[in-house]
Structure 1
């Protein structure tokens, strides 16, 4: 992290580059961070939680402080919890509760972290009559039914989203994801991992497809969450074709980020609306929101969080393509990416699979996977065949890592849930649709029982 004095110094391109380069670390220091979001709902009627009240998000966060989590405030609003070495609990715009996990060495530690988090969250929630739903898109409630959380950043985004897309507000309040964050050794290693993970993100979207409903009815998509991102904000989303072009590196990503319109500038505890304004103008002291003021390294770090491509570069790579889901798949996502990216032989094998893909093929997968998942046509077959090959490579990578738990088991078992999906060619979304058409008799409410944590 930059020192306080460095973070306040006027920003230069050299400093922006150095910030990204500071993520390079030797392989023995590589870690994995796992983030997951879940919908909180009142058990008696399945409604999303308001911020205030006895059964509100604030009360839930306050209840978690009994386990040593420390409150974080924005003004008088409790908006997050932190705990040294244990990550943080944060709020998404519609009250989705997120665990941003610690940086851990093994997937066994990740599994223990998620298990511990759920145990503690459920202990508090059960006293409140609150449950949690693991899906990629809110299956029942309309956008206007969902309370907004009191965060300044979200107010700015809420006002800006309708200017640039039709589904951005749905992204904010009605989606949930699980995400894995991974390290790189060098710029070249970053580029290779970026290309592999960006190419394979649609395969992951297919394996994790778990959002087939909108407002109680089938949406026509197996991953409605993934579809939402296609009409959120084209200036900051998508598959980033330049990543696959010659010359990709930290400098090229900086150029991309300088062209991503801003959302805000954070000063003295408040968010200043700069939505749609140019970071390039900010570098020249010509930002309309703060005329004459120059950006700092903190401003650059904040700006990096406002782009939402399928894979995002900060001082690590963020894998962003999966729907939220049940507990066993929360551990499966980091297992898949660690297996693919943290073993050199597996990374080479994955790169060999994707290196000849054309821009048209990348676009085809991004377009069709939200609707068809593993049944998406692919090179004379379907994506199911590719998913099986990807799992073979990931399993080999995890086996080569040989990170054993106390019972002598390696990390390959965390892929079991994905093997079931890939071998059957049937996603959880398709299972849910079958239930809706048969056992549930067209009623969505059973999902709040059968898919609850």
Structure 2
């Protein structure tokens, strides 16, 4: 596979599949010391008196004032939050806080909690409340934003099931963003973040109720992922060359849409980006088109220079910090990664069982305590301030108490 540098001209046409593969491989992992850590935190907003009522995006734009994003306030100033984070709005009105990466977990804790407090204050003044659940507990999926991208996305998802619409419009995720780390350890780091997934998904599952109904799933948000085309939302193969695997996954993924100056962005079913390169659609795709396509893929771990982990439910209040800190700790260094992979091996691949049963799955129940204990020991070793270490330990302990109350009187 040829390695293509980032093109000077983003509008240059892509002539060969190998050129696209090389380009993706050159940008997907920014390797180096694994210091910065970031997070995206989504929340679903309701009116407390009428939580099942549809969200009014005009009222939401007024509520968020100068911080409202272009999707609901195209003429607004789109101001950052107190520490440089920004707000986005998902198709169903979910509010996403995209925090700036920080050099330490302690600094991330401070900045994100400050900005979450700022967001909570704004929505409370506007007569809204953040639910803190991974799926809308009161409303069924309803799209409140309209754009040609979202129209094409809705049409594409609807061909398969209603799960894509639910994912778009009714789910809220917590997305830690962890550095890719040193180049010589990338394959192990990539494998570890997937193998740890079922255990951490189960520990932090937080979406059992959707639209007023107990679904029988610990993570109904993750259940929706199983109804989405795995070519867009499944796991990426691991192995010795994650960049190559991601490039192939991305080029074989079906196009969600094709941007056009006028008219619909919809594209006929089954056409992949590789097909577009070889002439399946009019015109030649550009590197800018390829960048856009990469942003329409939703695997459980997405490389964006860093590793964006997408398999966790959002958490209530300040509980977001525990899963982020745990993941960062388990990926802290090569020795820890090796130990973590050994400990989580029995549960690796048990995505469905973890989403359905959470910590009551027998295999995860045997695996999770040792994995979490390792994370807590690494956090203490690496100098996480005592109060923050206790906060993480308390959150984890609370999850075990919820799952196994008979063991924790």
| Bin for the TM-score computed over the shorter chain | 0.7 to 0.9
Give the alignment of 1:189-228 within 5 angstroms: 189-228=185-224
Distance in 2, Cα, partners of 1:125 & 1:353:
42
Gap change, CA 1:103 and 1:275, over 3 Å in 2: farther
Of residues 220, 231, 247 in structure 2, which corresponds to 1:254?
A: 247
Distance in 2, Cα, partners of 1:71 & 1:239:
30
Equivalent position of 1:326 in the other structure: 316
Higher normalized strand content (fraction of residues): 1
Moved more, 224-233 or 263-272: 263-272
Moved more, 393-402 or 190-199: 393-402
Equivalent position of 1:25 in the other structure: 32
Distance in 2, Cα, partners of 1:102 & 1:271:
34
Equivalent position of 1:442 in the other structure: none
**TM-score of the superposition, structure 2-length normalised?**
0.86
Equivalent position of 1:142 in the other structure: 140
For structure 2, the 5+ residue unaligned runs are none
Alignment root-mean-square deviation, CA: 2.9
The answer as to whether partners of 1:87 and 1:100 remain within 8 angstroms in 2 is yes
Distance in 2, Cα, partners of 1:82 & 1:266:
28
The answer as to whether partners of 2:196 and 2:341 remain within 8 angstroms in 1 is no
The answer as to whether partners of 1:399 and 1:410 remain within 8 angstroms in 2 is no
Give the alignment of 1:239-318 within 5 angstroms: 239-240=235-236, 242-243=237-238, 246-266=239-259, 272-274=265-267, 276=269, 277-284=271-278, 286-288=279-281, 291-296=282-287, 298-318=288-308
Q: How big is the shift at 1:129?
A: 1.2
Q: How big is the shift at 1:423?
A: 4.2
Equivalent position of 1:170 in the other structure: 166
DSSP 3-state at the match of 2:302: strand
Distance in 2, Cα, partners of 1:166 & 1:317:
28
Moved more, 418-427 or 302-311: 418-427
**TM-score of the superposition, structure 1-length normalised?**
0.79
Equivalent position of 1:90 in the other structure: 88
Distance in 2, Cα, partners of 1:422 & 1:129:
30
Equivalent position of 2:393 in the other structure: 416
Q: How big is the shift at 1:51?
A: 4.1
DSSP 3-state at the match of 1:256: helix
Alpha-carbon deviations, 1:97-136, whole Å to 9, x = none? 0001111112222222222222222332222211111001
Alpha-carbon deviations, 1:237-281, whole Å to 9, x = none? 2334x31xx444211221111111111244679983336422113
Q: How big is the shift at 1:282?
A: 2.7
Distance in 2, Cα, partners of 1:79 & 1:287:
41
Q: Verify: 1:58 aligned to 2:65, yes or no.
A: no
Count of aligned pairs between the two proteins: 395
Alpha-carbon deviations, 1:222-244, whole Å to 9, x = none? 2111111111222222334x31x
**Runs of 4+ with deviation above 4 angstroms:** 73-85, 266-271
For structure 1, the 5+ residue unaligned runs are 429-453
DSSP 3-state at the match of 1:72: coil
The answer as to whether partners of 1:211 and 1:323 remain within 8 angstroms in 2 is yes
Distance in 1, Cα, partners of 2:110 & 2:277:
44
